[in-house]
Structure 1
Amino acid sequence: MELINCKKCGRMFGSENGQIYCSKCRGTDEEDFRKVRNYLYDNPGASVQEVSKETGVEEQTIIRFLKQERIEIVEDENAILSCERCGVSIKTGRYCEKCKNEIKKELGSALQSLEKDKKTGMGYHTAHKNK
């Protein structure tokens, strides 16, 4: 556990598992999520601005829920979210499916390379010790 300041209110708290919000703000965040989810259930296709106006939840919070893949945009094309890697329009998350697959493949290759280096003893420390 490490002591950090809450990203929302600034209050210091003990963070576990990478939490960035204190317990009070996490509760508020969950309440906001329920408001947004319930509004979208009754009003599918509503805009971010409309959801914000009707629920009182900030637009930035709604966009964060989209990026966290907690909610999804109904339309195929939108001007709200785009892939952070290639820029194509997406409905939820931070990356399109194509980029997710490419990133997964690249990370898998990097991991295999690291494991290969470990087995051959050519890791960073070993290579520098031999010089």
Structure 2
Amino acid sequence: MKLRNCPICGKLFVYTYNNKCPDWVKKDGEDFKKVRAYLAENPNTSIEEIAEKTGVNEKRVLEFLREGRLILKRANRNLITCELCDKPIFSGKYCEECAAKVKAKFNTISDKPLKKSNDMSGKIHLSKYQQDKR
């Protein structure tokens, strides 16, 4: 049984799969439902208005958008921007073009084979010592 402190509220809890305490996870889910319901009824609203009407902090609403849990309507896409190029986006951290570039970079890095080093200096190899004893 692993005990951890919640990074949000500091409460001690038994860690299962989530890094946050059950009380915070429950509150987070309730806040998300409030924001999602309000956005469904008022798709062209501002973050300030969402925070005022739902009681959910503006920063938390932006986190929902950055996490990809909420997606903005086209008319309301100036709320968040791509972290690389500052283009307006609907959800997440990157626009489609930057996401493709990041993915391509990761693919090229992972496709490169690791170089084997033949340099044996500074290493002890037991097989040499075993042969010398014979």
TM-score normalised by length of structure 2: 0.78
Give 1:107's aligned residue: 106
Shift of 1:77: 4.7
Cα distance in 1 between the residues matched to 2:120 and 2:87: 47
Contact 2:44/2:76 (<8 A) preserved = no
Partner deviation per Cα, 1:38-78 (whole Å, 9 max, x = no partner): 11111111111111111111111100000011112222651
User: Does structure 1 conserve the Cα–Cα contact (< 8 Å) formed by 2:4 and 2:13?
Assistant: yes
Looking at structure 2, the residues matched to 26 and 130 of structure 1 have their Cα atoms a distance apart, in angstroms, of 52
* Structure 2 residues not aligned, in runs of 5+: 122-134
Number of the residue aligned with 1:5: 5
> Equivalences for 1:25-64 in 2 at 5 Å?
25-64=24-63
TM-score by length of 1: 0.79
Note the aligned Cα RMSD (angstroms).
2.2
Q: Aligned pair 1:67/2:63, yes or no?
A: no
Aligned residues: 120
Q: Secondary structure of the residue that 1:92 maps to in structure 2?
A: coil
Measured after TM superposition, the shift of residue 11 of structure 1 is 1.7
- In structure 2, the CA distance between the partners of 1:25 and 1:92, relative to structure 1 (3 Å rule), is same
In structure 2, the residue matched to 1:130 is 120
Inter-partner Cα distance in structure 1 for 2:21 and 2:118: 43
Question: In the alignment, residue 120 of structure 2 is paired with which amino acid?
Answer: N
